Structures are given as structure tokens and as C-alpha cells.
Amino acid sequence: MKILLTGAGGQIGHDLIGSLSAAGHSVTSTDLAPRPPSHAHASGAAWLGLDVTDAAATEALFEKVKPDLVFHLAAILSARGEKDPKLAYDVNQTGTWNVLEACRKAGVSRLIFTSSIAVFGPPPSGPLPDPTPDDVALHPTTMYGVTKVAGELLCAYYTKKFNVDCRGVRFPGLISAAMPGGGSSDYALFMYVDAVRKGGYDAFARNDTRIPLMYMPDGVRALLELAMADRERLTRSIYNIAAFSPRADEIAASVQRAIPEAKFTYSPDPRRQSILDSWPKSLDDSAARRDWGWKPKYDLDAMTDDLVPRVRRMLELGAILSTH
């Protein structure tokens, strides 16, 4: 299959390109930035510059590549988006519109949209239900969340109106052996990275912070399974998916199983903490389980066992790359 990725240089692209190439697909990776050194493993896949805020360039590229399937990953995440809401609006809102229009005009039949737990926020009537189901009133508190809600609605609209089969998942915070960029859930990954490289981490979140998290191999598999699911089986456009929802200090305890000397402290950053506190504590993903057989493989400790050696290799490789 001919597959195109936007935002391929990010944390999801890093793992998704590898899985798609390994499955024998022809992959065109696009990003504003050149291929990062961390993506050298995907050097077989084409890498093209693309700014999704540029409608004409997006349309021309989609027309030229004519992909069968698009994974739209380009986005400014929640914490960075609060520093520059206009940039988040341009990339996430206008960019998604441009990608949908480019799909429509180039006759792309299927588009995968990556939404997020950031679409949720506390309703005026009280806290979010725990677990939070797919269909609750959406009250996002960040520009990132606002644009993801709009993207979800556009996705359903284009499916119905223009037959661009757009479907997506609401990702929990994703954890992998790749540096994240500008997310509020990044504390969880830094508990691993800094435990390996510095022997501990001073988290920007409270010790009792609890949000839905997922290990990237499960996240990538969810994208692939949803992308390949029969349309007839899908009862909705966008699905909650869940894996585990530990408190920050439970992540610390899991890391300490692998690195007993690691020390963790908590110095909550008010801005990022308030974003984290606005998100669900856990998600109800029963519709995804029912419609397309979604099931996570990794729990917290299984992730820790797999991730710690990978983080070690990533840091060694980074050190090698930076000295050459």
C-alpha cells in the first residue's frame, strides 16, 4: 500500500515508519523538518519537506504521491501550544483542514487522524466520569485540545460529506524511547530517560497525578489495526483507546524495579499541572474493543521492562551521534 505520513519527524512517526516499512508498505514521510538523526532506521523510506499550513504545497504533494492511506500526525502538543496558541491553531486546525482538503482533491480514500485525551476537560457540572467514555461533553482547556475536537468533527464531516474515510483514536500520553516534544504528559517519559541518564528526575507533576498512558508499540498497533479495519464494523469515527493509568509515584516505583537507585522528586509546574488535572484519569475504550478488537499488550511493568534497555540504547546512540 502507498502510505503518506505528515509530521513524520515526531514521536509517533519514529516508530510508525519502522512498522509500516517492515510490513512492506511504500512509505512517504513528510515533515517541516529534515529527517532527524533518530529516524536513521527509516532511511529506506522517502522523506519530503512539507508544511501542512501551506494549502497549495499540501495539495500538490498529495496529488503527486497519490497515497492510498494517510496518517496525519503533524501537530503542536499541549504545553507548547499554550506558549504559542496561534502556532497551535495554524498547524493543528488549518493544517488538518488542508490535509482533509488535499485528501478530497487527490482522491485519497482513507485518512487516520490522531486525536488525544486533551479533547476532554472538566464539565461545568463537576468532574469527568472515571473512566471517561467516548461520548461526554467536550470542554478542552488547551488550544491543542480545542483543535483536536475540531479535527474530530471535521473527520466525521469529511467521511459523511465527501467519502474521505477518516477515522482516528484519542491517544493517551504516549511513552517510547524517543524524545517527546512539548507535551504535558512528557513527565512520564522523563521519569525513564532521566533515571537512566541522571539517576533520577524532578517531575513537573504532582506525585498523585494520574492520566491515561500507553506504550508506543501498542499505540502504533492501534493505528495500524484501526487503519485496516472494515468500515462496516466501525460505529464511530473517533475511538478512546486505553492501556494503563498509573499515578506518577507508581511510575516511579515501576522504574525503581529496573533502576533501584533512581530518585524521584515532585515540583509541580502550575501551568502543566493544571492541564494534567483537566484530563481524564482513565478512559473507557469498550467501543474500540468491540468494533475492531482493540486490546493493549503492555501494562506499566511490562513497559518498564522493555523500555529501560531501549532508553539506554537511545542515549548511547545519541551520545555517539553528537560526538560525530
Residue 176 sits in the site that holds ligand SER (CB under 6 A): no
Longest Cα–Cα distance in the chain: 57
Q: CA 38, CA 18: separation in Å to the nearest integer?
A: 12
Residue 215 sits in the site that holds ligand SER (CB under 6 A): no
Which residue matches cell numbers 482513565?
282
Helices (H), 39-142: 55-65, 78-83, 85-88, 95-106
Is 187 part of the annotated catalytic residue set? no
**Beta carbon nearer to ligand SER, 144 or 239:** 144
List the one residue from 6, 29, 53, 78 that touches ligand SER (CB under 6 A): 78
List the one residue from 3, 20, 77, 102 that touches ligand SER (CB under 6 A): 77
**Beta carbon nearer to ligand SER, 151 or 183:** 183
Q: CA 47, CA 14: separation in Å to the nearest integer?
A: 12
The nearest distance, CB 116 to ligand SER, in angstroms, is: 3
Residue 169 sits in the site that holds ligand SER (CB under 6 A): no
Cβ-based neighbours of 10, under 8 Å, separated by 6 or more? 31, 73, 74, 75, 181
Which residue has the CB atom at the shortest distance from ligand SER? Answer: 183
- Options 89, 144, 192, 266, the catalytic residue: 144
Residues 15-74 that bind ligand SER (CB under 6 A): none
Size of the chain in residues: 324
List the one residue from 183, 200, 219, 246 that touches ligand SER (CB under 6 A): 183
Cell of residue 142, nine digits = 488547551
The nearest distance, CB 203 to ligand SER, in angstroms, is: 14
Prior bond of 133 cis (ω within 30°):
no
Residue 185 sits in the site that holds ligand SER (CB under 6 A): yes
DSSP 39: G
The nearest distance, CB 220 to ligand SER, in angstroms, is: 15
Residues 109-148 that bind ligand SER (CB under 6 A): 116-118, 144
Residue 184 sits in the site that holds ligand SER (CB under 6 A): yes
**Beta carbon nearer to ligand SER, 35 or 272:** 272
Cβ-based neighbours of 309, under 8 Å, separated by 6 or more? none
The nearest distance, CB 3 to ligand SER, in angstroms, is: 22
The site that binds ligand SER (CB under 6 A) totals a number of residues, namely 11
Q: CA 76, CA 85: separation in Å to the nearest integer?
A: 9
Q: CA 57, CA 82: separation in Å to the nearest integer?
A: 27
* Helix (H) / strand (E) containing 308: helix 300-322
Chain contacts with ligand SER (rule: CB under 6 A) = 77-78, 116-118, 144, 171, 173, 183-185
